[in-house]
Structure 1
């Protein structure tokens, strides 16, 4: 145990940064107090700190990559959770960043896809097996953007909540287990990729609906059921 000279709290040795010049090999203040001090110094005059950080990153790229890789290995779940939360909270920012990156590296991306076609197919198949709903939504969103349709940002969790509130636990047409995410008003007819325009359908019903007018399709279903 060691007592922090700043907050006066006794903490374990792992809560203090190392300092070879000290007799006990540790800094006198704990990590939490050191972080508070560093944040205060940074925001008091951020320009010099940014310049120092940029200079360090430029001079030590390999060291930074190794440290980042080691941190990811030790904190993989926490890193993934933060990344997922950021994507859900900032969909427009993420989308703009991806678009800019694709635009700047289009040729390299196409070449990578050509050289790794089999690997990409395997990854997509594994992703579908592990999270089919997310894969279906990505496919639906891709089709919407390809047709220049209106795309409203939402998360998988938000879609589930909306479907549960509406009682959509199965195919809305026949009651079978749902397999496809369908645009109620087809993209080809000006439909949007939004929660209000998505419904769960089984494969057979979705294929029979195709890009037909939803009201005509519903009318034909009712006629078939009554005959």
Structure 2
């Protein structure tokens, strides 16, 4: 590989870094992805030094950057608006042709959100129970996995105890206090009355 692909480094024997520029960039990307908090802190320190050493230049550069960002967003909005105006008939036809699928997806999303909200409440109660009993708090359950399990079991929208009413809460088949697991197979929807 030609020397031009390696960074200059006065501390190295041949005056060049032993890793190529591409490898250095890849390693930096991996490091940023693995340590986002450290990268944010380093950015904050850099901004603080720049602001302290050259406040007028830094603020001017920041204003220019903000202005470029706002201008780009404005152009994107205009382009999107123009596309929607030019393709209004196509969009309308697509919506009409796929109305049932869109409605089904919306219903599924609302159902997953409802299950997720109930699981969040249940997880809070379990965390309090774990604190009182000095046990480890179990890992949260994935709402999508739970919905898939309930759909396969045939209890997605009704009480699992067989009364046929819509469910209002989520409970454990085998309670945690009796050794039950906090997992997909041990959680069922119940109406809370039967």
Tell me if both proteins adopt one fold, taking TM over 0.5 as the criterion.
no
TM interval, short-chain normalised:
0.3 to 0.5
Superposition TM-score, scaled by structure 1 size: 0.37
Larger Cα-atom Rg: 2
Superposition TM-score, scaled by structure 2 size: 0.42
